[in-house]
């Protein structure tokens, strides 16, 4: 008699998205996909052409409620390359002359560092939305803006 299927708790309970290891037709054409790899440097020839990537493996560990990549000891390796395409997504606010002039400090993720009241490291200067939170959603940016306006109001009218 066939055994009843084992019922396991879902790895991604609602409302989290399912983790799907998607393989598209382009992936099937070839190539090796590697995850949890951090590129530390590029090596090129004297013509300025990239020849090699120096990488190491990382492990995602939860720290202070968020996942951060931790470099694995002795996991470094090199990959030969003649073309590198960077697909990094949002890697933090760019260098902004205004932020530089105001000497606004950055947090560990290179966003503008703010305290619990949206105030930056420079007294009287506030930041909200993607600049302070990192890439997110319109609704979060709008909510941040409303909250920051409240905080600014409280700062101006103590
Ligand atoms: C390609 C893309 C697709 C996205 N799709 C979605 C989506 O489908 N749904 C969703 O919810 N979110 C989406 N987002 C994210 C969403 O757009 C952002 O989270 C949101 O716009 C952040 O709002 P913000 O006000 O913090 O920043 P921004 O919308 O970036 O506004 C900042 C403003 O400040 C201005 N500025 C910058 N420097 C100065 C300066 N020195 N002086 C004066 N003005 C300045 C800029 O010109 C800009 O207008 C997407 C983002 C991108 C890049």
Kindly list the domain boundaries of the chain, sorted by start residue: 33-80, 97-156
Tokens of 132: 């302070």
For residue 137 and ligand 1, the question of a CB distance below 6 A is answered with yes
136 Cα–ligand 1 center, Å: 9
**Is the CB–ligand 1 distance for residue 12 below 6 Å?**
no
DSSP sequence for 86-127: ------S----HHHHHTT--B-TTSSBP--TTSB-SSTT-B-
In order along its 158 residues, the chain shows pLDDT tens digits of 566 665 555 566 677 777 777 888 988 998 888 999 999 999 999 999 999 999 999 999 988 888 888 999 999 999 999 999 988 777 888 888 999 999 999 998 899 999 999 999 999 999 999 999 998 999 999 999 999 999 999 999 96
Q: Is the CB of 98 under 6 A from ligand 1?
A: yes
Ligand 1 atom, smallest distance to 97 CA: 41
| Ligand 1 binding pocket includes 18 (Cβ within 6 Å) | no
């Amino acid at each position: 008699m066939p055994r009843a299927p084992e019922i396991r708790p879902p790895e991604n309970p609602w409302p989290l998205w399912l983790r799907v290891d998607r393989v598209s037709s382009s992936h099937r054409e070839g190539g090796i996909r590697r995850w949890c790899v951090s590129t530390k440097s590029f090596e090129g020839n004297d013509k300025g052409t990239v020849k090699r990537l120096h990488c190491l493996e990382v492990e995602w560990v939860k720290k202070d409620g968020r996942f951060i990549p931790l470099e694995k000891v002795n996991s470094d390796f090199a990959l030969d390359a003649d073309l590198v395409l960077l697909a990094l997504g949002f890697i933090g606010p760019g260098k902004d002359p205004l932020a530089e002039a105001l000497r606004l400090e950055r947090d560990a993720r290179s966003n503008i560092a703010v305290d619990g009241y949206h105030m930056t490291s420079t007294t009287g200067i506030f930041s909200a939305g993607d600049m302070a939170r990192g890439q997110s959603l319109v609704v979060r940016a709008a909510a941040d803006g409303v909250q920051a306006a409240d905080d600014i109001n409280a700062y101006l009218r103590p």
